[in-house]
Structure 1
Amino acid sequence: MASASRWHAVAQVLAALLRRPDATRAEIARELGLTSGFATELTARMRELRLITEVRAPVHGRGRPTTVLAPHPEGPVVLAVELRHADYAVSVATVDGRLHGTRRRPHRQRRPEAVVQALRRTVGRARDRYGHRLRAVSIAVAATVHDGRVVQASTLGWGEVDLTAVLQDPPAGVRDLAFLVGNDATLAGVAEARTGAATGAGTALHLIVEVGIGGCLTVDGFPLTGAHGAAGEYGHLPFGSRGRRCPCGARGCWDLDVDGRALARHLGEPSPADPYGYAVEVLRRAADDVRARRAVGAVARALAGGIAGLVNVHDPGVVTLGGLGPAIRLGAAEAFARAYADGLIAYRRVAPPPVVDAAHAEWGPLRGAAIVGLDRALGEEFLGAWAAR
């Protein structure tokens, strides 16, 4: 069972369970092309290793009772974290990708050292509760991530920050804990491609509007992150006015044309301290306020035109839109549709890639962090370490 081929098969079963929670042993065997006998042997060994168990499936009408694969109650878990402008979210993910005990907490302070200290306490509590079962800590952050490091988080007012400090002084027994940091929009795209609105699409583009806009291109469920993991900074494409300088240091960034800062500018109001909250309020007012409605229309056109440009570049099968994106589009549906069509190369207008709302909404980054954490924790190398215990 310790052979490379067997660990490969175990990893495949766990990956299938992540894609299809509550699948039966027979369903997974068919998906992976395993014989019935080998699937039975494999799942029995995985039960012994406390990776999975089998539980009775809910009964729907007549038929023979069956069982489905489920996480073992003493199996591995991943701590998923999302860092946003005003708060952070924490959840524990089991091997089927389900999130447990999810909660959001506001930042008491946004200084990097204060946030890191809060996360250290959170990780410490998870270690105390789960011990060696905790196999990875995976963080989604609204920041540029380069080689696994936060190098700039303009919405948080951060420069380079070392988030590995949340794992200082690991106790004995958890020194093989994996640690991952990823951009929030990239991880939200992973969640949509694996378990959301882009499931089944070979190539998918995900965009998320919050404070600015980010996203990622996924191929077969995996993100194209570039040479250093920093790809997908779509908000810093020069789709905006060259007369405006972005907090990132560049001029003309698309970020400044698609969020609360753009809405304030169109309304002749000061740039808001909380662009996300301000945008939510303007979108609410737009139902009865003509000026707010016009501002939303201008932002919707800027958003749709940029999406068209990215479709021309990437040729995705579907575009998923998260964060404030769906509300902006809904608030000016005709303007959005016209700008999207006008920005496409002519031949694409015959059958343009659909732009659909993200399935995971605000929880996409957290779900994506859990998925990539489980990818690492349930890989062949880490499975060997788990079995050795």
Structure 2
Amino acid sequence: MAQARASDPDSGPIKVGRAEAARWSGALDLLRLVRARPGVTRAEAARVLGVGSGTATEICSRLRALDLIAEHPAPPTGRGRPTTTLHAHPDGPLVAVVDIRQAEWRVAVADLEGTLSEPATGRHGSKRPEPVFAAVREAVEALSARHGSRIRAVSVSAAATVRRGRIGQSSVLGWRDVEVEPLLPGVPQVIGNDATLAGLAEARLAHPGKSVLYLTIEVGIGGVFVDHAFAVTGASGAGGEFGHAPFGDPAVPCPCGATGCWDVAVDGRAVARLLGRPEPDDPRAYLIDALVDPGSRAAVEQCSASLGRGAAGLANILDPEVVSFGGLAPELRRAAPDAFAAAFEAGLMGFRRDDPPAVIASALGPDAFLLGAAEAAFDVVLTEQSIGEWTAARFG
């Protein structure tokens, strides 16, 4: 996933001295805190940032004047001075977020607090990249027409391996080596694997400060290891392709080109294969139906055991504090809990069984991919250069 880097304080669209750079640093720290903890009080923000109340008041005043935050009176506590709660400004920066799935796409806008709004959806009339991105571009342009320069970045979550900003491969869409042209020219754009971005959001929003192994089942299984808010994605950004670890049947080919992938051992394709049926057109819907079908119970148990065994293997390798399941993974575990538990425990190294990582369902639900895209987008927006450009564009 792309990493943003702050510009040199004496370069870029607004030249600032060291004292001014320090003030911007405090302002960015506050904006990042409001993003992580919407509604934080100004008094608590001062404590977290290690600044005096006067400094916090001055920074908040500056950011309010720049349409970056809004302040509301905090509920009275009966002691101490009145304070305020800090929120996204109603005219503040926005990001456009995109989620491209096997059969459909979604687009929305997100504000500093991570609130998603103005959703648009569509189904792929064709799975060729050109018509898919043409439809998405039209939806993003419609958002831009409504919000103008408030849209500061575009972020794309794709059910695909993403490498150096390009789609290297998507088994579910049949894509290979696809460049994603700017959806909104002149606006920074980032792109990431859907499971990577969902896991980034899960770790930052639900388990801040912890090391989190995130696994999600949609069509196949994907995930990411997030270590203290940073997604571990390797040298080119293509790391975390856990679905293509050889945790499955070595005799079963995967659309990625490998054999024995975990990806085809835990979803609707696996259930159909174990039942001796043809591969379903919609593996996700097929798995949903199979989870409540008594005739599919034995196949579901095998898939749940595969989920448990693979999760244990990754826990041994990565040493997470939390294993979080998204998508259909919690439902698969719930449908065959004994099979999962037995495989997970058997797969753990002996010393881990006394203190295994917590295995829980994701807190984010179906919006996890869009929320993750928003996280990646605001990593680009909340930089000294980007905020300087916002100031120059809006206030000259």
Per the shorter chain, which TM-score range?
Answer: over 0.9
Is residue 338 of structure 2 the alignment partner of residue 334 of structure 1? yes
Instruction: Compute the displacement of 1:18 (Å).
Output: 1.0
The correspondence for 1:347, drawn from 351, 355, 364, is 351
Corresponding letter in the other structure for 1:44:
S
- The equivalent residue for 1:208 is 216
Alpha-carbon distance in 1 for matches of 2:223, 2:322: 13
Matched, 1:279 2:308: no
The aligned residue for residue 107 of structure 2 is 90
CA distance in 2, matches of 1:82, 1:117: 14
Q: Select the residue among 233, 236, 239 that pairs with 1:231.
A: 239
Does 2:194 align with 1:184?
Answer: yes
Deviation per residue, 1:44-97 (Å, 9 max, x gap): 01111111111234x589788753111112211001111111111222111122
Alignment-derived partner of residue 208 in structure 2: 199
The answer to whether structure 1 residue 358 and structure 2 residue 362 are counterparts is: yes
Tell me what 1:140 maps to: 157
Q: Distance in 2 between matches of 1:4 and 1:152?
A: 41
Shift of 1:10: 1.3
What is the one-letter code of the residue matched to 1:237? A
Distance in 2 (CA, whole Å) between partners of 1:70 and 1:275 is 41
Q: Distance in 1 between the 2:76 and 2:298 partners?
A: 50
Structure 2 SS opposite 1:372: helix
**How far off its partner does 1:216 sit?**
0.5
**3-state SS in 1 of match to 2:373:** helix
TM-superposed deviation, 1:257: 0.5
CA contact (8 A) 1:76 1:134 kept: yes
Measure how far apart 1:370 and its partner are: 0.5
Q: In the aligned structure 1, how far is the partner of 2:290 from the partner of 2:375?
A: 34
The Cα offsets for residues 119-159 of structure 1, whole Å up to 9 and x where unpaired, read as: 11112112211111110000100000000111111101111
CA shift, 1:243, in A, is: 1.1
The answer to whether the 8 Å contact 2:108/2:116 transfers is: yes
Deviation at 1:101, TM superposition (A): 2.1
Check whether the contact 2:105–2:136 (CA below 8 A) recurs between aligned residues.
Answer: no
Q: Secondary structure at the match of 2:144?
A: helix
Gaps in structure 2 of 5+ consecutive residues: 1-14
Distance verdict in 2 for CA 1:75–1:280, change over 3 Å:
same
1:50 corresponds to: 67
* Matching residue's letter, 2:221: I
Offset of residue 107 of structure 1: 2.2
| Contact 1:15/1:375, CA 8 A, preserved across alignment | no
2:321 aligned with 1:317: yes
TM superposition shift of 1:108:
2.8
Matched residues in 1 for 2:124 and 2:248: separation? 31
Unaligned runs of 5+ in 1: none
Aligned to 2:275: 267
Matched, 1:38 2:55: yes
Q: Distance in 2 between matches of 1:200 and 1:334?
A: 31
Checking the alignment, whether the CA contact within 8 Å between 2:109 and 2:118 is kept in structure 1 is yes
Q: How many residues matched?
A: 375
User: Does the 8 A contact of 1:209 with 1:322 survive in 2?
Assistant: yes
CA contact (8 A) 1:237 1:254 kept: yes
Q: Is the 8 A contact 2:99 2:156 kept in 1?
A: yes
Counterpart residue type for residue 195 of structure 2: A
State the SS of the aligned residue for 1:68. strand
Contact 1:141 1:182 in 2 (8 A): yes
**For residues 109 and 21 of structure 1, what CA distance do their matches in structure 2 show?**
40
Consecutive aligned runs of 4 or more in structure 1 exceeding 6 Å deviation: 60-65
CA distance in 1, matches of 2:123, 2:268: 20
Separation of aligned partners in 1, 2:333 and 2:212: 19
2:183 is paired with a residue of what secondary structure?
A: helix
Residue 11 (structure 2) aligns with = none
Structure 1: which amino acid aligns with 2:115? R
Residues 42, 186 of structure 1: alpha-carbon distance in 2 compared, 3 angstrom cutoff = same
Distance 1:34 1:371 in 2: 26
Residue 366 of structure 2 aligns with an amino acid whose one-letter code is E
RMSD: 1.7
TM-score, normalised via structure 2 length:
0.91
Distance in 2 between residues matched to 1:109 and 1:13, nearest whole Å? 44
Give the direction of change, closer, same or farther, for the CA distance of 1:62–1:295 in structure 2 (3 Å limit): farther
Tell me the equivalent position of 1:248: 256
1:381 alignment partner in structure 2 = 385
Aligned partners of 1:220, 1:28: CA distance in 2, in Å? 20
Check conservation: 1:7, 1:384, Cα contact below 8 A: no
Measured in 1, the distance between the counterparts of 2:167 and 2:25 equals: 32
Q: 1:24 aligns with which of 30, 36, 41?
A: 41
Amino acid at match of 2:330: P
TM-score by length of 1: 0.93
